[in-house]
């Protein structure tokens, strides 16, 4: 892991959050994408080499809806760029980290996988690999 790919922020109301972050960054999201499998709408801002990803739940079963019910709006996860997600997961499992589910297709043309916050000091960690390298 060499860089922060993005920081995910859970928002209750995307329109309201976008107007807040547009004002904060003096920029607009360069990309929005619905990720059906995760039950989220995503809105990306560029931040140098990294990105900020706003996450809005699209249904009550969405992990974001559950996060908001428990913890309100705020930082949801940190995503790290990896070259080879399968090799990295193998290494991390050996180190004792708990993987949440399988490697899957995420937003922004990425293969992603999450680590359980129980094993990462309370931080939900996402690993991201460029999908076109597969």
Q: Which stretches of the chain bind Zn ion, using CB under 5 A?
A: 8, 53, 79, 126
Residue 6 CB, nearest approach to Zn ion (Å): 6
Query: Is there a contact between 100 and 115 (Cβ–Cβ < 8 Å)?
Result: yes
Closer to Zn ion by Cβ: residue 56 or 126: 126
Q: Which helix (H) or strand (E) holds 96?
A: none
Question: Measured from the CB of residue 109, what is the shortest distance to Zn ion in angstroms?
Answer: 13
Residue (63 or 92) nearer to Zn ion, CB: 63
Spatial separation of the C-alpha atoms in residues 81 and 85, rounded to whole Å:
9
C-alpha span between 55 and 76 (Å, rounded): 9
Q: Which DSSP letter does residue 27 get?
A: S
Nearer to Zn ion, 49 or 94 (CB): 49
Residue 54 Ramachandran class (φ > 0 left, ψ -120 to 50 alpha, else beta) = beta
User: Beta 125-130 vs 110-115: how paired, if at all?
Assistant: antiparallel
Smallest gap, in angstroms, from Cβ of residue 111 to Zn ion? 12
* Separation of alpha carbons 9 and 93, rounded Å: 26
Considering beta carbons, is residue 96 or 122 the nearer one to Zn ion?
122
CB of 37: closest distance to Zn ion in angstroms?
Answer: 13
């Amino acid at each position: 892991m060499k860089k922060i790919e993005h920081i995910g922020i859970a928002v209750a109301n995307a329109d309201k959050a976008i107007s807040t972050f547009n004002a904060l960054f003096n920029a607009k999201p360069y990309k929005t994408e619905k990720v059906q499998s995760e039950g989220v709408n995503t809105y990306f801002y560029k931040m140098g080499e990294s990105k900020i990803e706003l996450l809005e739940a699209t249904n009550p079963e969405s992990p974001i809806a559950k996060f908001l019910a428990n913890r309100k709006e705020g930082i949801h996860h940190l995503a790290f760029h990896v070259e080879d997600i399968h090799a990295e997961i193998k290494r991390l499992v050996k180190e004792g980290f708990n993987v949440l589910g399988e490697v899957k297709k995420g937003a922004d043309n990425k293969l992603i996988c999450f680590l359980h916050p129980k094993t990462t000091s309370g931080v939900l960690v996402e690993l991201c690999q460029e999908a076109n390298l597969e």
